[in-house]
């Protein structure tokens, strides 16, 4: 049996949002999108890269699926995460 691993970006005040840009999800007038980008560093990149090394499935909510479907199929074949998501 495989493990279920949940990975999320959550601020200390409970905002859960991917490390996208400021306009990624402005639902309800939210204007603080992209807040994690300034905190991304090498250890974070290594951790996130490690998550995608073993075989995995993605379980996405509707909004996240829509964001992924609009982005990842169009990412170049040289992008390591794009290769994994598009496989």
pLDDT tens by residue, the chain, 87 residues: 777 878 788 888 887 777 777 777 787 887 777 777 778 889 988 888 888 888 888 888 888 888 889 988 998 778 888 888 887
**Cα–Cα dist 67/30, whole Å:** 16
Q: E strands within the chain? A: none
Helices and strands (H and E) in the chain: how many: 3, 0
Which of 15, 25, 21 has the alpha carbon at shortest distance from 65?
Answer: 25
Q: What's the pLDDT at 43?
A: 92
């Amino acid at each position: 049996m495989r493990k279920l691993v949940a990975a999320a970006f959550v601020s200390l005040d409970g905002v859960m949002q991917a490390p996208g840009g400021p306009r990624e999800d402005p639902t309800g007038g939210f204007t603080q999108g992209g807040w994690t980008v300034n905190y991304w560093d090498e250890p974070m990149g290594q951790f996130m890269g490690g998550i995608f090394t073993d075989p995995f499935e993605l379980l996405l909510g509707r909004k996240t699926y829509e964001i992924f479907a609009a982005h990842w199929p169009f990412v170049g074949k040289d992008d390591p995460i794009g290769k994994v998501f598009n496989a």
